[in-house]
Structure 1
Amino acid sequence: MSIFGVILLEQRIQRTYNFNAGPSALPLEVLEKAQKELVDFRGNGMSVMELSHRSATFEEVHNEAISRLKNLFSIPDNYEILFLQGGASLQFSMIPMNFLQSGQQAAYIMTGSWSEKAIKEAKLFGEPYEVASTKDENYNRIPSLSELNFHDNDAYVHLTSNNTIYGTQWQEFPDTGDVPLIADMSSDIMSKPVDVSKFGIIYAGAQKNLGPSGVTVVIIRKDLIEKGNQQVPTMLKYSTHSKSNSLYNTPPTFGIYMLGEVLRWVEENGGLEAIEKKNTEKAKLIYDVIDESNGFYKGHAEKDSRSLMNITFNLQSEELEKKFLAEAKARGFVGLNGHRSVGGCRASTYNAVPYEACKALADLMKEFQQANQ
């Protein structure tokens, strides 16, 4: 083996324990495949990044990703899959722009910073209201279904399925009847099975469980596309992208290729039921340390609202938190700092974060407690 080959091998063995909240860990197998295909994709003598988005080769990549998403998520035939740009943040605007008229109401369930950003944009177009909020409790839980009282004439109901900053996640979704339920699933999409038929729209930035940043997946019921306001700019209409199979303009081709490969990885690892089981096992390692620490570690989220994707916790003092984070960094852990708006610690255990990384973190937490009590 060449010296260069030895260096590459060492780099692979010494990959960090990546707990970043997003962009987050990607499956190593996917990264290695992308590395092999980077210069010459499927014998074309070009990288996938160099292919024309109108070419038959890229069209195959594009449609393969759509097909895998449909199969894994069991998406019914009356839904369209769109690959857009602008992240969830652009969807905060596109949704009310297309579906909320002046003077019309829409219900927003407030569970964190992303809900706040979403309703702020909706106020530019109509009359959104907070149907429930846990802000007074520092967003430490998801509102119970009994707290939700919608209006029959609401344009839609909007929620955030998982809250990266506060570490909370919906365990059961509300039944909104004839009112479309819209969900920002950016941080837990593809982490477990979901009944897509309960939703009018599901949208998600790719950079947590689907691939690199730059692609936004929108799963939208076809009848909503037809009902959307057509008096908005062309690029901001869902119908524009639906009619062109998301190829109205140049899409993020490399991101879509990577998304398709991540979905292939999910298939090869048993699908969403198997992924959910692994995610539950990974999160339990860390939650058990918190629960058995006699208050040395304190979880932010109420137990019945805990996220499998983002585990948020504090230590007994800021000084201890700084010491813990410094110790973790020295041991090769990345991304454990809590969000700047809330502080503390956060371990993001997305699909591609291996069990071994979560086990290593749990062991470090136990060791740190023993040494600092």
Structure 2
Amino acid sequence: MLLPRSDGTLTDYAPSRTTAFERPTGAPFASRIAFSAAHVVCDPLSPADPLNDAPIDWEATMAYRRHLWSLGLAVAEAMDTAQRGMGLNWSRSQELIARSIAEARAVGGKIASGAGTDHLAPSPNVTLDQVEAAYREQCEFIEGHGGRIILMASRALCACARGPEDYERVYGNILRQVSQPVILHWLGGMFDPQLGGYWGHRDLDEAMEVCLRIIRDHADKVDGIKISLLDADKEIAMRRKLPPGVKMYTGDDFNYPELIRGDEHGFSHALLGIFDAIAPAAAAALQALDRGDTASFHSILDKTVPLSRHIFQAPTYAYKTGVVFMAYLNGHQPHFRMIGGAEGARSATHLAELFILADQAGLLTDPDLAVVRMKRVLALAGIE
């Protein structure tokens, strides 16, 4: 088939038909905890407005979570990968969380769900009491369904906080009220521009110290922290400063192999959006790591990094398009439509390069199907 390239040319391309790994057994991983932040599947035939009502194909969405669990991965539900706050509102998120927790219970899958303040519109006029009430409502909903919490960053808090002390107050009050330890989530401005300057500082080192102070003051209520800053050195520096028993969950979709492997001082667990797109490879690599086979771990996972860096290239928040496109290419959903019309957030050239990188990483499950579907998408761009 013909693929458009970044220089404006069309290039003949055929998949290599090579697979770099065997399908994992689905057994739980022994050496690392690995969450995949899962996407949602849009219902393309719903008459609901895709820009506002987030029509979801529930069966296909739950089937993808069963796929992730079958590989031994845990599911991080209703996160930014699921277009949370970017097409998926709190009302739909509640149904998604409730369904996924029930599904996890039925199949023995591990799950944690995002609690935030996205039903509270960000504004400098929002009060800290309102932010706390919004956090409390979502935390209580998740725990009321027997779920674990990932405490997401708050746009509303970022908009109204006057300094680090406001973050310490809000997080302190929420952490004192949850019934079991949570995973904190520090999402950098490259993923969500409305979260720039989180923890009360633009400087990342100063922001980190505020976050660490909150963790140290409430270590009994913090299972770990996921940071998504795309800066391996910052993650390693913070990892080495965490109190005993508090885990680091990498959210670095650029440098995850080295961070998960770790060094003589420790390692990161994983809570990654890219694990949705590369789930079979991620699971196979983690099973190799369990065996102490770091060579195979890197052989499998390093091949996925060019694909991940492409999917998460600037503007980083558009990465959801690439994740869903991978699911479409591999037959996990019958269409390439997204809530909010986000399938249009990347160019045909970007998707063509994604196809090549996925092939090179051994991540096209059925190359013939992938070719047919790639051609359909390119036809919409005028490439026959």
TM-score normalized by the length of structure 2:
0.32
The structure where helix makes up a greater share of residues is 2
The structure where strand makes up a greater share of residues is 1
Higher relative contact order (Cα pairs below 8 Å, separated by 6+ residues): 1
